[in-house]
Amino acid sequence: MRNKIIPAALFGYFALMIVALLAMGFYWNNFQKPPEQPIKFPHDIHAGKLNLPCQNCHQYTDKSMRAGIPAMQVCMNCHKNAAIDRPEVQKLLKYWENKEPIPWVKIHGFRKNANVRFSHKRHIKAGVECTTCHGNMKVTKEVRRVVNLKMGFCVSCHRANAAPTDCWTCHK
Amino acid sequence: MNFISNLITTPTKEHLLLNHYIIIIISLVFLTYIGILFGSVFLSLIYFNRSRSEENPFFLKLAKDLASTFIGKKSTGLILGIIPSFVLLVSFSQILYDSSILISQYFLYIFLFTTASVLFAHLYQNSMLNDEKNEQVRNLWGALTLVGLVLMIFTFISTTGLILFPSRWTLVRMQIPVFFDFNIVVRFMIFFAAAFAVTGSAIIFFFFNWGGGLPAQSYTQAGKQNLDKDYREYVAKLGGGLSLGFTLLLPLLIVWNFKTIPPLAETYAAYWVAVAALVLLLVIANLLYLLLKNSNVKYGSSIFVLLIITLLVMTVNDNIAREQALTQQSLILAAKADEVEMEIKMEQEQAKGTGEADIAIGEQIFNSKCIACHRFDQKLVGPAYKDVLPQFENDMDALVNFVLNPKKVNPDFPAMPNQGLKPQEARAVAKYIMHEYQTKYK
C-alpha cells in the first residue's frame, strides 16, 4: 500500500505546483502583461534618433498636473509627409481621416482609492528629470512601467531631495 | 571601486549577450560549489560536535569524510570558487557598465568573502584531518567558514536581487546592498534549499558512485576502518533524506518566487522554464524515493546529474529575469556603443585627412537622421534642400551653425529639433549635403 501512496503523493504535489505555476503564468500573460498600444509608437526613433525633446509632443508637462497625450495634430505636423509609407504611420493616418481619437492604453497612474494627487508641473519645476519615473525614452521601443509608483518609491525620492513627506502633500 | 569601471569600455550588444552566457555558466559552477561547500562544512561541523557527546563511531568518520571530500584540494577552491567569483565581478561590471548601481564594489566584497571562506575551509579541513588536539580550534575554523559563506551569499543574493529593481539603484548606497523585499527572502531560501538538496545528492554521488566511491580506508580515527555496510546505509539515508526533503521544498519556493518577482523582471517564457525545472525535480524526487526505499545507491549519478541540470535551468530562468529587468540598461549601452564607434570612425577618417572622408561620414549621418524629414528635391516635413541650400553656398559656417542650433525660419514648417550632433559631425553632414546638392541637383 505504502509503495503506491508515496509516489502518487509525490506526483500529486508536483502536479499541483505545476498547475499553480501555469495558472499564474496564464493570468500574467492575459491580465498583467504590459498592454499593447493601438499604434506601436517608437519612442526610440522620436526621442532618440530624431532627438525630439519630450515637451515637443507632451506639451503640458510643465504647465499642468497632467503631461497629456499629444493631440493628433502634433503627430500630423510631421506625418502629413513624413514616413507615410510605414504601416504604423498609416494606422495613424486612418484614425486622422476617420476623425477618431487613438485609443491609447494608460500605463502610468495610481489606483483610484489611493487618492493620490500627482502634479507633473510641480515635479518639472523642481527639476526632476522625466527619466526618473518614465525611464530613458530615448532607447525605449515599447513603453512599460519602469518604477512601481508605490508609496515607498515616492517617499524615498521625497526624502532624498528634502521634499515634504506630509500625507497631505500627495493624498487629498 | 571606480578603478574597475575605468578598465572597461562601453560593451556592444553582442558583447552584452556574451556576458550573459558567461554569467549563466560561471554562476552555475560557482553557486553549486558554494552550496556544496556550505552544506558539507555545516554537516561536518554538526557531526563533529555530535561525535564529542555521543558514542557513535560513524559521526567522526562522517565529519572527516565530508571535510576531505568536498573541501578538496587547494586548487578546487581556487578553480571553482575564487576564480569564478572574479569572473562574475568582471562580467557583471560589464552588463551594468555606467549604471548607478555600485556593482563592482558589491562583487569585490563577494570576491573577498569567497576567498576568505575558501581559506577558512582549508584550515578547517587541515585541523580535522590532522586531528587537531584543541577541538575549539576545529570549531572556530568551521564557524568562520560558515560565517564567511553566509556573508558572501547575503551579498550575492541582495546584489543580484537589487539588479531586478532598477528604480532602487540610486537609493541603495551602502557598502553591501541591504534592503528588504520578499523576493530577496525567497531567493535566500531557494539558495539554501538548493544547496542542501545538491549537498545530499553529492554525498551519495561522491561517496558511492564517483570513481568507484570513497576508498575503503578513508580518513578515520583508527585509520583503517572499512567503509562497512552500516556506515554505507547510514550515509545513503542521510544524503537521500536530505536531498529529498529539500527537493520537495524547492517547488513551493519557485512558485513563491514568481509571486514576488518585481514586475519589471517578469516574462511569460520564465513560467515555462520554471515548469521544466519542476518536471526535472519530480523525476529527481522519484529517484530519491526509490533510492531510500531500496537502499540502493545506483541512482546516485543520475540524481546528481539531473540536479545539476535543474540548477542550470534555474540559473537560466534567473538570467531571463535579469535580462528583462535590464532591457533599458542594455539599450542605453548599445546606443552608447554606437556613439563610440562613430567617434572612432570620425577620428580614423580625419587622420587620413581627405575631404572625401568627411563626405562619407556625412552621408551616414544624413541617412540615419536628416532623411526622416528632408529630401534634396522635394519638400517633406522640412523644406527641399535645393530651395534652401543656395543661401549657404558661400557661407558653410552658417550652415554648420544652423545644423548645430536650428531656429524656426519659415512658419510653413515645424521647427527643426536640435539633433545633438557634435561640431565635427555637423561639419561632415553640411559638407555632404552641399556636395550632393552642387553635383546632382544644381
Nearest CA in chain B to A31: B268
**Residue B374's closest CA among B300, B314, B332, B437?**
B437
Distance from CA of A82 to the nearest CA of B (A): 6
Distance CA B240, CA B204 (A): 7
A64 contact B CB<8A: no
Question: What are the tens digits of pLDDT across the range A39-53?
Answer: 999 998 898 888 888
What pLDDT is attached to residue B107? 93
**What grid cell was written down for B129?**
584531518
Q: Inspect the interface and report whether the beta carbons of A28 and B278 lie closer than 8 Å.
A: no
Q: What is the DSSP string of B217-251?
A: S-S-SSS-----HHHHHHHHHHHHHHHHHHHHHHH
Mean pLDDT of successive 10-residue segments in chain B (442 residues)?
A: 74 92 96 95 93 84 89 90 94 90 91 96 91 85 95 95 87 84 94 96 88 58 54 88 95 94 90 96 94 85 94 96 91 88 80 71 85 84 85 85 85 82 86 86 76
Q: Could you tell me the pTM of the whole model? A: 0.84
The domain defined by B353-441 folds into: Cytochrome Bc1 Complex; Chain D, domain 2 (1.10.760)
Q: Inspect the interface and report whether the beta carbons of B414 and A78 lie closer than 8 Å.
A: yes
Sign of CA pseudo-dihedral B196, B198, B204, B206: negative
User: What are the chain B neighbours of A160 within 8 Å (beta carbons)?
Assistant: 170-171
A73 contact B CB<8A: no
pLDDT at A141 > cutoff 80: yes
Distance CA B85, CA B159 (A): 13
Burial class (CB in 10 A: 0-12, 13-18, 19+), A20: middle
**Residue B319's closest CA among B248, B255, B269?**
B269
User: What are the chain A neighbours of B380 within 8 Å (beta carbons)?
Assistant: 81-82
Angle between helices A2-27 and B229-260 (to 10 degrees): 20
Beta strands in A52-116 (DSSP E): none
Contact B63, B45 (CB under 8 A): yes
What pLDDT is attached to residue B225? 47
pLDDT at A97 > cutoff 70: yes
Q: Inspect the interface and report whether the beta carbons of B379 and A81 lie closer than 8 Å.
A: yes
Q: What is the DSSP string of B343-360?
A: HHHHHHHHHHT-HHHHHH
A53 contact B CB<8A: yes
Question: What are the tens digits of pLDDT across the range B229-243?
Answer: 778 888 889 999 999
User: What are the chain A neighbours of B278 within 8 Å (beta carbons)?
Assistant: 14, 17-18, 21
Q: A21-30, A34-43, A125-134, B378-387 — which is least confidently predicted?
A: B378-387
Sequence letter at residue B351: A
Q: What is the DSSP string of B156-209?
A: HHHHHHHHT-GGGTTT--SSS-----HHHHHHHHHHHHHHHHHHHHHHHIIIII
Q: Inspect the interface and report whether the beta carbons of B278 and A140 lie closer than 8 Å.
A: no
Length of chain B: 442
What pLDDT is attached to residue A17? 95
**Residue B100's closest CA among B3, B24, B5?**
B5
Burial class (CB in 10 A: 0-12, 13-18, 19+), B163: buried
Q: Inspect the interface and report whether the beta carbons of B328 and A136 lie closer than 8 Å.
A: yes
Distance CA B356, CA B192 (A): 63
Nearest by CB to A21, which of B167, B258, B417?
B258
Burial class (CB in 10 A: 0-12, 13-18, 19+), B133: exposed
Domain ranges of chain B: 2-327, 353-441
Sign of CA pseudo-dihedral A118, A124, A128, A132: positive
Domain ranges of chain A: 1-33, 43-69+107-169, 71-103
Sequence letter at residue B68: S
What pLDDT is attached to residue B227? 55
